[in-house]
Every structure is written in structure tokens, then in C-alpha cells.
Amino acid sequence: MEDALNKDSSKTLNSIQSRFHHTSDLMSRDLYIIEKKRITIVYIDGIINTDYLRDSVIEPITNGFKNINEGNHLIQQLTRIVTNPNYKITKSLQEVIDELIYGKAILLVDGYTEALVVDIAEWKERALEESLGERSVRGNVVGLTERAKTNISILRGIIKTENFCIDKQSLGSKSKNDVFILYIDDIVDKQILADIQNKLKKLNIKYLLEARIIQESLASHPKTIFPRTLSTERPDVAASALFEGRVVIIVDGSPQVIIAPSLFMEFLHAPDEYYTSYGRFSGRLIRLLAFLLTILLPGIYLALEGLGQENVPKKVYDILVSEEEILPTVWELVFLLILLRILLDSSFRVPKGAVLLISVLGSVLLGQTAVAAKIIHPVSLLVVGISFIASFTMGNKGLSPTLNVLVTSFIIIGYHFQFMGIIVGLTLLLLYMTNLKSFGVPYLSPLLPFRHREFKDSLYRGDLETLINSEHNYPNHN
């Protein structure tokens, strides 16, 4: 069998080196014990802890070889000598290759078709830092990192129960990466869990670098502009989702975890709402109002202009509309939205020291020069500014792409069909969202369909003791 290890450890080593194309960081070291029996230690330099290799593997073998009995199975004796608790025995060359990639050391013993695999991996990672993308006034300040094991360790520190389960899958045909499915066994919806596990098993990709491909595959049918999974880099948000019976997915190498299922109301929630009583009744209503302002305000402004002076009070019409500007109103809005998007993107791309310069330049360019030159109307700037700022009040940034599409859609509707078109468009949007589901769960739940038991954590944040002791369940309409 091609996948079997050779009794001659030097031939096995040659096969390993050939599979790795003789890369310079593939290291090997020979140890000789009884009757010049050779043990070859193979590892990849840079992803292992060399001190741990010395203390738990090399020194125990060199110091304890006198206790080795040549007549007994040598591999089994090595498992008793090596002080590293994480080991296993394999007979597969492919498994040896995979374990080396994951930072394991391989012990090849001359004369045996088995190898001892010892875990001495030490992956480089940044220190725990504040969650920059989801800041809050109060509450947990530590964000997740790129290392999946570190993130699982953080969550295990929060969720102290034997029912906290982890299902590991490896995805990628050319380069494998670990994906971890986390859930609390006695709380999770088993049908949703099985659906997620099956979708991940069917995912056929060459490599996996980021969690985005997982999000797209989980919510691939039917296609929609609304996010049906939620991503977060806050461990308290992930832990809360697990206690609510949802599933958390961690991709090794990504600092953000995926939460499924996710509903529309959850994008209006903010983490600090659970650490203070301030705004527990008004915070989410304000964000819902900000959502409506973001998508409707530019379209309403165009609809007012489209009504004409005969249908709008003269004083109001003269304030809103002017014939002196170079650009028509609709193109003013489009120009401002594109320009603000350029300023936003550039502020993320330029060095940190130049962000202030971009901000000042943008405010002068928009607030003074463009208005003074009568390129745009001041009201257009005000409308787009309110819409743009309101879009950042969402508790989670996952709705940002959706907001961009809806703003553009209602600008077109308001320009061509005025208020009647906006009313029809808003009605159709509500009907569409009502029929949308996330893993079989109605997207507007618990509002539509109305579920009074879950309503206490929807448009307002209810009493914390009641929320903690509540049993969450998701109506599955698949």
C-alpha cells in the first residue's frame, strides 16, 4: 500500500521529504538507543515549541532508554517514556503528512510500520486585545483572536458546563483548515444543528482562509440581501448565543465567529444593553428608527421634489429645492453617497496618521467647497449625512451591505414613483422579510409571527433574571 509506512525509517523519511518537496524548514533528528536502534524525529521548524520537544520527547528518551526492553513493542514503550500527554500512533503516511502540517512531531522507529505522533505545536498569535469592531461602553472588552483553540478556551472560561460540545471538521482539498461547531447539547435545536453539520460536510472547496465562505454556504438558498447568520468578535455575544440554543462556528485563522440562526431583530441589539439599565426600552427603537431613516430619507427627499411646487407648501419647497445648483437633486444624492463611500474606504486604507487629514479634507470638500460652488444643495448634504450617520447606529455591522442596496432601491423608487412608490416598496419589503427564514426560523420572529414569550428581548431589553431563566426555542417552518 502506498499509504503505509515502510519498516525502513530512512525510506519513510525520504517519502515525507519528497511529499514536502524537500522544503528547508522540514527538520529531522536521529536518536540511537538499544543495539543502535534508530529513532528519527521529524517536525516542521517554526510551528513547534522546541523547548517542549526537548523536555517532553528528546530528554525522556535519551535518559530512559536503559529501561527499554528490546523484546517488547518499542512504540508502546515510547508512549510510556514520552512525557507529552497528547500523542497517538498511526500507520498512515498521509496522516503523518497531515499531522506535520498541524505542528506535530513524528517519531519513526526503524523496523516498525507505525509512527508515534506527539503534539508540540506552538502557533504564533497576537495577544488578547479589545474588540475594535464592536466596542461598547460597558461589558467585556476582550475580543477573539485568529487562533481557534484560544477562542474555544475563552468560551470554555465563560460556559462552565459538561454539555458544552465541540464538533471538529476539516475543510479543503488542497489545504485543510479546521472548522469547529460549538453548541450546548441540552439547549441547542437538534434540527438546526444537523442542518449546519450537513451543509459544512457538503462544502467542496480547495482551501479555507476566512469565515466568509462558511457564511455564504450556510445561507446560500435562497439568495437574499439580508444576512441570515451573524458574525461577532465578542466572546460574550457568542456565549450568550450558545445559551439561547444557537450554534457558533469558529474557523481557525479568523477572529470572528459565526452565529446561526440569526434574525433581523438581533442586528438591532447592542452588547452593552445587557450591562446597564440605560436605554433598555429606547435603544432598540432608536436603532429601528435609524434603520428606516437610512433607507427611506433620501427617497422621501426625492419624492417631495417630485410632487412639484403645486403640491408642497411654497416655503417648504423653496427650502428643499433650488434651481441654482449645477446637478439635479437625484445626481446630488448619488454623488454624495459615492463620495462618502470613497472617504470611508480611504480612511481604512491610509495610515492611521493620515485619517485625520482625510476627515478634515472631506469635511471641507463636502461642507464648504461643494455647497459654496453650488454643486450640491445644503439640504441634499443634510439628508445624505443623516442617512449615512444613522447607518452606523446598528448594533451589528452585518446589515451594512443590505442598507446600501435598500438606500439605492428607494432612491430609484422615490425618484420615479414618489410617495406611492415608497409605500408600495416598503410594503413589499415587509412581505419579503416576513417570508424570509434563517434555517427554517421566520426572519422577523418574534414580531411576525408574534411570539409573546420571546418578545421580552426584541424591541426592548427585558428583565435580566427573566431573560437568563427563559427557555429559548425557535419555530422551525422547514
Q: What is the pLDDT of residues 182-206, one digit of tens each?
A: 999 999 999 999 999 999 999 999 9
Burial annotation 138-157 (CB, 10 A radius, 16+ → b, else e)? ebbeebbbbbbebbbebbee
Report CA torsion sign: 136, 140, 142, 144.
negative
What pLDDT, on the 0 to 100 scale, is given for residue 180?
Answer: 96
- pLDDT band, residue 19 (cuts 50/70/90): very high
What pLDDT, on the 0 to 100 scale, is given for residue 159?
Answer: 94
- pLDDT band, residue 65 (cuts 50/70/90): low
What pLDDT, on the 0 to 100 scale, is given for residue 301?
Answer: 93
Element (H, E) at 441: strand 441-442
What pLDDT, on the 0 to 100 scale, is given for residue 34?
Answer: 66
CB atoms within 10 A of CB 342: 12
Smallest CA-to-CA distance from 57 within 84, 80, 96, 27 is with 84
User: How does the average pLDDT of the chain come out, rounded?
Assistant: 87
- The pTM of this model reads 0.85
- Percentage of the chain beyond pLDDT 90 is 47
Q: What angle do CA 277, 279, 283 make, to 5 degrees?
A: 140
Question: Counting Cβ atoms within 10 Å, is residue 437 exposed (0-12), middle (13-18) or buried (19+)?
Answer: buried
CA 295 to CA 430: how far, in whole Å? 13
Q: Identify the DSSP state of 170.
A: E
* Residue 328 confidence (pLDDT) above 70: yes
CA 375 to CA 380: how far, in whole Å? 11
Residues 6+ apart with CB under 8 A from 438: 219, 228, 229, 260, 261, 262, 263
* Residue 293 confidence (pLDDT) above 90: yes
Residue with cell 523496523: 111
The strand pair at 87-90 and 257-260 is best described as unpaired
- pLDDT band, residue 105 (cuts 50/70/90): very high
* Residue 79 confidence (pLDDT) above 70: yes
Grid coordinates belonging to 437: 427564514
Smallest CA-to-CA distance from 14 within 40, 37, 44 is with 40
- pLDDT band, residue 474 (cuts 50/70/90): low
